[in-house]
Structure 1
Amino acid sequence: MLKQSHRATLSLLLFVLPAFILYLLFLVIPMLQGSYYSFTNWDGLNKSYSFVGISNFIEAIRDDANFRNSILFTGKYVVFAVVLQNGLALLLAMLIESQRRAKGFFRTIFFMPNMLSIIISTFMWVFVFSKVMPALSEYAALKFLGISWLGDPNVSFWTIMLVSVWGGVGTLMLIYMAAIQGIPQHLKEAAIIDGANPFHMLRYITMPLIAHALTICIFLTLNNSFKVYDLIFALTGGGPGRDTQVITMNILEEAYQRNFRYGYASAKALILFAIIFIITMIQVTVMKKREVEA
């Protein structure tokens, strides 16, 4: 019996080993190297560099106005992305689940944006905002469509949010639908017999029993929103100016595009990691407590 147990453990380790090696090579080791370089003035090109202690972190937080602005814009984006994507996904999930027919059709329609590459779908939206909207404004006399969707700082954020919600709702909707389908039918029937209205059903039956799905979806949107890059890069390139520059764009600009300050960029990346880690831990802890209470 003991030998069989050892064989099972060995076979498990053999199956896990390739994935663990890849995880070690492409995630853990680069992260440790980046943490090391964040305390240096390395430019990413030369072999020589010197240690500068925590001066990179002090400069990023105290002296770098562009970095602080990118943090503020990223925070704004994260708040709206989490609220709008989860709110709309939950609403769509409940509406589709309430239908008796064509559930598969609606699932396919709303999930379809997730089947496209982010870059391809974003360039499609760039064409819509830069060519289609002005044409409609001119030929259909819809003057409000002629605004600068990507060039006006007051409008570009909401343009980004529109594309972000369009592309992010599908996956969350499926998770919420799966959770709603897992609610025991007898609980719904008992609540209806007791005279519960739709609001009571949502508050006391649906929301408590899909709390685990809510935790997962908020975690996913938080993680993806903090790391967003390709969507905003393809839409606005961080412009006009730096008005829509997120943290990831600021870090890559510092390391590769303008200043070639790899050590300084690594310090910014560590700050981003700390922000994501702290907020994620708070979110998971609070949501898990609510799951237990439910």
Structure 2
Amino acid sequence: MLRKNKKTISLLLFVLPAFAMYLLFLAIPMIQGSYYSLTNWNGLNKNYSFVGIKNYIEAFTDDASFITSLLFTAKYVIFAVIFQNAVALLLALLIESQKRLKGFFRTIFFLPSMLSPIISTFVWVFVFTKVIPEIAKAAGWDFLKVSWLGDPSVSFWSILTVSVWGGVGMLMIIYMSAIQGIPQHLKEAATIDGVNPFQMLRFITMPLISHALTICVFLTLNSSFKVYDLVYALTNGGPGRSTQVITMNILEEAYQRNFRYGFASAKAIILFLIILAITLIQVSIMKKKEVEA
């Protein structure tokens, strides 16, 4: 009994630092933010009033920039989740089908994920503003002579390109690990039965890596909803507010434009609830498919 108690205490001591960090940097700020979202605090003044759900109502009824940024974020999330996972899965399948140079290709495609997002994004700014225009000028390709970051109809796809380039590496590794975990005898039996590559992918590979798909979609959903640095470095939300994501709108409300910390906290809580609801739905649906598979 004494040994069991000592083991429990030792385990708690190992968990305690992480739990303390969780409380200090996540749980307590979350509780404070929830409270401030019900006030008109400006982030500086000690005197503020309790306004109830007024901030939440105002966000949806009297703040066009919030709705615009929310819709743009939703558009970005949909395309980022689809393209990042599709490209990552395709790369994983192609690399795993190779008999040689697997390590080389894995390193090449994973490398962008190791770079600082800000540094890599500034490199892409140079590509969009200097390299591509020079290529278009030298080759006479008029279709490349567009404002990649200044035209609202094009800047979204520029942001998405950089997002996919920097995000597929980690997802590719997860998919490759799942593919490597498929029992070899299943593949051999399917090959003997005359299964073609498409049928192999549909009926064997995809069902057996559905757990990896659940993880990757979960990761891309969360990171896409909370994207900030990538958009900030590429377009700073412009031109105008045409590429402003919800995180930029929240920070602008709190620190850059109106200093309405309570109102910004309400927007942050709304974002949290949206992410929570979508994530719970996504995980529950995909987990059921894992069981069926």
Normalising to structure 1: TM-score of the pair? 0.99
SS in 2 for 1:51: coil
Q: 2:31, 2:12 → 1: CA distance?
A: 24
SS in 2 for 1:52: coil
Could you tell which deviates more after superposition, 20-29 or 262-271? 20-29
Residue 82 of structure 1 is matched in structure 2 by 81
Q: 1:133, 1:204 → 2: CA distance?
A: 42
Aligned AA (2:182): I
Matches within 5 A, 1:65-214: 65-214=64-213
Q: How far off is 1:104 after superposition? A: 0.2
Q: 2:48, 2:116 → 1: CA distance?
A: 39
Q: Deviations over 1:126-175 (max 9, x none)?
A: 01111111222222322222210000011000000100000000000000
User: What RMSD over aligned residues (CA atoms) do the two structures have, in Å?
Assistant: 0.6
Q: Deviations over 1:229-288 (max 9, x none)?
A: 000000000001000001000000000001000000000000000100000000000000
Whether 1:266 aligns to 2:265 is: yes
Q: Deviations over 1:22-75 (max 9, x none)?
A: 111111101100000000000001100000010000000111111011111000
SS in 2 for 1:165: helix
Normalising to structure 2: TM-score of the pair? 0.99
Aligned AA (2:171): L
Q: 1:258, 1:91 → 2: CA distance?
A: 43
Q: 1:129, 1:174 → 2: CA distance?
A: 28
Residue 58 of structure 1 is matched in structure 2 by 57
Residue 37 of structure 2 is matched in structure 1 by 38
Q: 2:165, 2:23 → 1: CA distance?
A: 34
SS in 2 for 1:167: helix
Residue 292 of structure 1 is matched in structure 2 by 291
SS in 1 for 2:240: coil
Query: Once the two structures are aligned, what percentage of the paired residues are identical?
Result: 74
SS in 2 for 1:214: helix
For structure 1, which runs of at least 5 residues remain unmatched after alignment? none
Aligned AA (2:55): N
Aligned AA (2:154): V
Aligned AA (1:33): Q
Q: 1:193, 1:142 → 2: CA distance?
A: 50
Q: 1:217, 1:136 → 2: CA distance?
A: 35
Q: Which runs of 4+ in 1 moved over 6 A?
A: none
Q: 2:138, 2:221 → 1: CA distance?
A: 41
Q: 1:73, 1:10 → 2: CA distance?
A: 49
Could you tell which deviates more after superposition, 150-159 or 14-23? 14-23
Q: 1:246, 1:166 → 2: CA distance?
A: 19
For structure 2, which runs of at least 5 residues remain unmatched after alignment? none
Residue 232 of structure 1 is matched in structure 2 by 231
